[in-house]
Each structure stands twice: as C-alpha cells, then as structure tokens.
Amino acid sequence: MRIIYFFTFDYSLKTIENSGSLDREIEYFKYLNKTFGYTFLLVTYGDNSEKNLLTEYDFIDILPIYSLFNKNKYKIIRYLSSFLYPFKLKKCTGNFDLIKQNQLLGSWVAIIFKIITKKKLFIRTGYDMYTFSKQEKKPRYIICLYYLLTKFSLIFADLYTVSNNEDKNLLSKINKKRSIELIPNWVENLNYTDFNSRNDNKIICVGRLEYQKNYFYLLNSLSNTNIEVDIYGDGSLLNELKALSSDLNLKVNFQGTLNYKELKNIYQKYKIFVSTSLFEGNPKSTLEAMSAGCVPVVSEIPNNIEIIKKNETGVLFSFEDQLGELLKNLFKESENLANMSYECHKGIIQSNNIDVVASSENNLIQSL
C-alpha cells in the first residue's frame, strides 16, 4: 500500500529535523514498512533541497510543495495559495492508495486532494488545535477558524484518529454522528536500566520553552531546594527563564534540543521526570520518559491523569501543591521510587509499545 502523507501546514522535513524529532518520525515509517509493507510519499512544505534528504530509505519519496510553487513571504498569501496546491499535486503523485493528513492544520489541502482524486482520507491529530487555541488565548477569530476546520475535517475524513480520550470526547460532541478512533502515541521498548545508579537530587524536563510548559512555576517552586534541573528544549522564553534561575540561585542547565536517538538514552540517567504543563495532548516526552523508567511527576491535568495511575506509575500534583517539597521527599523514598519506576516502565510498554500502536493503526487502515 502506498500512502500520501501530508505534513502539517508550513512544516518541512527541516522544520521537524530542527525540532529534534525527525528520527523519531522516521522510526514509525520504518516500522510500518518493515511490518506491513507500506510505502510513502511525503508531501512537505519544503523546497527542492528536501529531495536530497532521506535518500537512504527506498520506501520513502519526497514531494516538496515549494518545489512546485513559489513560497510567498507573507503567510496569509501562502494560506490562500494552498487551496490551489491539490490540483497541481494530482499531476505529480502517481499511483497511491490512501491519503493521510498529519495534524489538523493544513487539512483543507488534503480534503480538496481527496475530493479531486476520489481516494480515502485518514486524518490523525496528536492534540486538538481548537482546544489549544482556547487555552493559549488566541484571538477569537482564530478560535472560530479552528472550530470550523475541525468540523469540516470530521465530515470529510474517512478515518479520524486522536491520541487521547479528552480529544475523543470533545470531537464526539462537535460531530455526534461519526466515529472517532483512539490511537495513543507510541514508545520503544527500551531496556530497563538499573534505577539506583541514576542521578540523585537531579530532575529532567523536556519540552519547548513556551507558555504551555509553565516553566516559571517550576523554577519558583524549587527556590528553596538544592535540586538540580536539566531542561531539554528551546523556545522564546529561554532568556527570561535563565534570568529567573539566576535570580533564584538555582542550578538549571538549559541543554538545548537533542534528537530522539540521543534523548532516549539521556532519560535513562534520571530517576524523576517533571512536567508542569498547563495543557497537553498525549505527551510524547512523558511517555518516553516512562518507557525509560523515569518516574513522572506531572501536573494533574486531564491528559496526564489519563496515562498515570496516581502514586503507582507516577505522581500527580496540583499547582497549589509545594512541588519543591514533594520532590525532596520523593528522592528520600528510594525504595518506593524504584518500585514506581519499574511499574511505569512496564505499564507504558504494555499500552503504548510501537507494536501495539502500529497494529491498531494498520487494522483501521485495512478496514477502509
């Protein structure tokens, strides 16, 4: 089966590579090809230079949109032009069996392409853009546009999957007539390493340095502790967070962005992973940390509650809690911490292992 895979609007292979997640995404394509024989045409929002990427994979072809169209410097013009993309793409794609759209943004391109090619459309969202836009207090017209885009996508998609029950319940209310399928994000079955040899009194955080991740709360919570923090990720708040950590006299190491292959080995050096996010989808960094045996200490938001059994496979805290004191006490409970580590590793491998997730997706695709 050949799948045409549309990237999120204005995302290129280089965008994903710069975020450190390209090798993770390729792992899933490799698994689907090896296990089920799928091949892929990636429709990216890159230019001609992207055709020279991923040449080592004979089951992946790349069609950059901006090798066919000029990329206008104004985003609004790019949005308007994108309604014409499917008509030219039809002449360049050859034979294929299924259209897959990654994330909601850009789904109109895939929908038009579906209509003119008369092929089935599979839309996958890892998080709900409509909900996120409200949480991020976007302008009202943006929220309305995301709502309308969600409604149209639910109407035209032949298969629509989400990564978490919170999104499934929301979308089921927006369109009560259609079925929404749940497929969580995947993890690798990493070897469980000795817990006692991991870092003491040092935590790991992974995520963009943006409002959603709530790092200011984290740093302020640690102001009266000697806990060291390693943060992996970049973003617009880097300088502000550096200044705050200096003002609070905290030892915070801003490690920048690592790729997936590097990061999955890094996790295994830590006992505790911390996420102070205000909202999430099906958080990949938390799942990956758990698969490596890190005990997740995460905010008590619906999407975290969904993946963690409180005080069995992790710790949930509210923003009224004294997070610093909670972490200090956890490090003292070495035996309890080690037990939670093993249970969270075992549980997440059972529910989110790539074998399980890919098989579920394959079954849904075959049902089309």
Give the CATH number for residue 279.
3.40.50.2000
Is residue 9 very low, low, confident or very high in pLDDT (cuts 50, 70, 90)? very high
What pLDDT does 189 receive? 83
Residues 246 and 179 in one domain: no
Is residue 4 very low, low, confident or very high in pLDDT (cuts 50, 70, 90)? very high
Is residue 351 very low, low, confident or very high in pLDDT (cuts 50, 70, 90)? very high
Residues 240 and 361 in one domain: no
CA distance 277 to 238: 16
Residues 13 and 102 in one domain: yes
pTM here is 0.93
Instruction: Find the domain containing 302 and state its range.
Output: 199-352
Task: Indicate whether 53 belongs to any domain.
Answer: yes
CA distance 326 to 324: 5
Check pLDDT > 90 for residue 190: no
Cα distances (Å, whole numbers) of residue 109 to 93, 106, 122: 14, 6, 13
Is residue 41 very low, low, confident or very high in pLDDT (cuts 50, 70, 90)? very high
Task: Indicate whether 191 belongs to any domain.
Answer: no
DSSP 3-state assignment of 299? strand
- Output the CA angle 211-205-291, nearest 5 degrees: 125
3-state helix, strand, coil in the chain (%, to 5): 45, 20, 35
Per the CB < 8 A criterion, the answer to whether 85 and 117 are in contact is no
Distance of CA 181 to the CA centre of its chain: 17
Task: Indicate whether 358 belongs to any domain.
Answer: yes
Residues 331 and 363 in one domain: no
Residues 210 and 298 in one domain: yes
Residues 84 and 97 in one domain: yes
DSSP 3-state assignment of 347? helix
What pLDDT does 121 receive? 98
Q: Please give the tally of structural domains in the chain.
A: 2
φ/ψ of residue 56, rounded to 5: -75, -10
Half-sphere exposure of 227 (CA within 13 A, CB side): 31
Check pLDDT > 90 for residue 142: yes
**Helical residues (DSSP H) of 250-322, grouped into ranges:** 260-266, 284-291, 302-305
Q: What's the whole-number mean pLDDT along residues 227-250?
A: 96
What pLDDT does 177 receive? 87
Q: What's the whole-number mean pLDDT along residues 81-107?
A: 96
DSSP 3-state assignment of 329? helix
Q: Tally DSSP H helices, then E strands, for the chain.
A: 16, 13
261, two tokens:
């292959």
What region, left, alpha or beta, does residue 103 occupy, with left being phi > 0 and alpha being psi -120 to 50 degrees?
left
What would the pLDDT profile of 251-298 be if each residue is shown by its tens digit? 999 999 999 999 999 999 999 999 999 999 999 999 999 999 999 999
Check pLDDT > 90 for residue 61: yes
Check pLDDT > 90 for residue 37: yes
Check pLDDT > 90 for residue 224: no
Task: Indicate whether 142 belongs to any domain.
Answer: yes
What pLDDT does 81 receive? 96
Residues 299 and 180 in one domain: no
